[in-house]
């Protein structure tokens, strides 16, 4: 299974290296795409060493890093979109969420998103106020309505000193979600499920039935 790992330009970008390793441990071949801002936090060499693949840093020659561990104009976004089954973006910054929601394609990652027809998993990370802003909530709703999977951030102490939701979800959790999405696990799709907190009775015949004991405390 092939996956693109898009790395956004947030302070949590360094955690994407752990995610790349976690995805490979679950059998994915990972192609990393870094935004220009992401390269201010982590060097492409880190991801190249982890995945044994050159990192995509821009649409055109001269964009991003100029090291031998990166690719730019030599790679077409259409081909990358066709060769991969899952697009994972972590951290998905408020800026990236807005661009995805409104179809703005101004770098390799956002252009790739518009050309991508596979499954999309977004793991947001940002300041609590930005996470709770109505614009961000609306963008998330738009993306969820398209069928994308959102891995909500964890709550805790953020880099800015704020305590609240906004921390990038742990790499293992994101990787597990990606694995489930990639396998298409929708075992209960189309099924009608009844949930009860009390005793139930299922008839065997007009006289007998099967029941379960209930204390009445759960309901």
What is Dmax (Cα atoms) for the chain? 81
Of 130, 119, 53, give the one whose Cα is nearest residue 91.
130
Contacts of 129 (CB under 8 A, 6+ apart): 162
CA separation (Å) from 197 to 193, 194, 214, 218?
A: 13, 10, 8, 6
Peptide bond into 218 cis (omega under 30): no
Structure tokens at 107: 């770098």
- For residue 118, indicate whether it is catalytic: no
Which one of 160, 163, 172, 180 is the catalytic residue? Answer: 160
Please state the length of the chain. Answer: 219
Pairwise CA distance, residues 52 & 47, whole Å: 8
Residues with a known catalytic role: 160
């Amino acid at each position: 299974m092939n996956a693109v790992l898009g790395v956004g330009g947030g302070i949590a970008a360094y955690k994407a290296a752990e995610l790349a390793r976690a995805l490979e441990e679950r059998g994915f071949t990972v192609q990393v795409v870094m935004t220009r801002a992401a390269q201010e936090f982590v060097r492409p060499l880190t991801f190249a060493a982890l995945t044994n693949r050159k990192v995509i840093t821009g649409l055109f020659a001269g964009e991003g890093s100029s090291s031998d561990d990166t690719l730019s104009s030599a790679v077409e976004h259409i081909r990358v979109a066709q060769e991969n089954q899952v697009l994972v973006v972590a951290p998905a910054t408020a800026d990236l969420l807005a661009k995805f929601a409104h179809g703005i394609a101004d770098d390799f990652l956002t252009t790739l998103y518009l050309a991508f027809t596979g499954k999309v998993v977004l793991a947001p990370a940002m300041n609590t106020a930005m996470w709770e802003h109505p614009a961000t909530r609306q963008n998330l709703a738009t993306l969820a309505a398209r069928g994308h999977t959102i891995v909500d951030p964890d709550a805790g102490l953020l880099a800015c000193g704020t305590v609240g939701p906004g921390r990038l979800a742990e790499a293992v959790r994101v990787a597990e979600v990606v694995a489930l999405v990639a396998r298409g696990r929708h075992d209960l799709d189309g099924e009608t499920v009844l949930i009860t907190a009390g005793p139930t009775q299922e008839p065997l015949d007009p006289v007998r039935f099967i029941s379960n004991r209930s204390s009445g405390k759960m309901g």
